[in-house]
Structure 1
Amino acid sequence: MTALSALLGGCSSLPSLSDLTSITGEKMMGIVTPYRVEVVQGNVLTKELVAKVKPGMPRAQVRDLLGSPLLTDAFHEDRWDYVFTIQRQGALPQNRKVVALFDGDKLKSLEVPDDLPAERDFVTAINTFKPTGPVPKLSLSEAERKALPLPPKAAAQPAQEPTGAVRTYPPLEPRS
């Protein structure tokens, strides 16, 4: 009986499921961080892409440059909404909206937010990989290229004599 009461008393000290995860869901039991799915929606638009789009371009050309819009409205056919959102573990969530307004088939204007990043800035903002140690060098300078040894030249191989039976064939067309 004493063993049973000790066993049941121990059960009351176990943490409940709500105690295992915090309200934000950051850690379970203070140790394990659960995996969060990366959610990316819409079109990634950068300053470089938007700079290529000019008023007067036809819809097809705007679609070729920026991609298909995330939102098109049957009631507002002259408006395309390019919305981009990303939520990535270890990075701040990002939300951007670019609006293309048309006059018939031609682009009238493009509404671009002030915080639209350049391509390099966008990659830096979503990069959660933090390498330890020095960053490896990915390319050689011109002086380093010239210092490399030249590859050895392959000796010219003499033409090999045919092996096996040598045959001659008659011409395909009769001679006149």
Structure 2
Amino acid sequence: MHLRILSAVLAGSVVALSGCSVLERLTPYKIDIRQGNDVTPEMVGQLKKGMTRDQVRFVLGTPLVTDVFHPDRWDYVYRFQPGRGKVSERRLTVFFKDDVLDRVIGDIEPADPADAKEKSRVIEIGPAKDK
């Protein structure tokens, strides 16, 4: 008698575990992966035209990418891959002219819109110049 009850409970458990939503919860844990410089809107809001390289490095940190052929350009790249979900990427490029900050281009909006002018998700710091 006890054997029949036990087998019925086991059979019911197998049927319950075969549901899709239960099997999704039984997948292995995946860690969140963060790579690069996590530049926040508050950090971008602190940038001002005319800042020195050291001041920019203090605000944003050391750039992830520096190019030997373009020493007046620093690239800050951030990639976040959650254990479950979509990957997100952000980029910010800082340009210097005569060793001071000239402009910033990227997809991170500053926390204070008064500090930068936005044009189609491109941030220009200071007055726009003809290029």
Deviation for aligned residue 1:31 = 6.2
**Amino acid in structure 2 at the alignment position of 1:49:** M
* Structure with the largest fraction of helix: 2
In the alignment, structure 1 residue 40 sits paired with structure 2 residue 34? yes
| SS at structure 2 position matched to 1:50 | helix
Provide the identity percentage.
39
Q: Which residue of 2 aligns with 1:92?
A: 86
Q: Which residue of 2 aligns with 1:149?
A: none
Mark the structure with the bigger radius of gyration: 1
Q: Which residue of 2 aligns with 1:140?
A: none
Deviation for aligned residue 1:104 = 2.7
Between the two proteins, the alignment pairs up a number of residues equal to 90
Deviation for aligned residue 1:102 = 0.6
> What are the residue-to-residue correspondences of 1:14-163 with 2, within 5 Å?
32-113=26-107, 116=108
- In structure 1, runs of 5+ residues without a counterpart are 1-28, 120-176
* Structure with the largest fraction of strand: 2
CA–CA distance in 2 between the matches of 1:118 and 1:62? 15
- In structure 2, runs of 5+ residues without a counterpart are 1-22, 112-131
Q: Aligned pair in 2 of structure 1 residues 92, 118: CA closer, same or farther (>3 Å)?
A: farther
**Amino acid in structure 1 at the alignment position of 2:104:** L
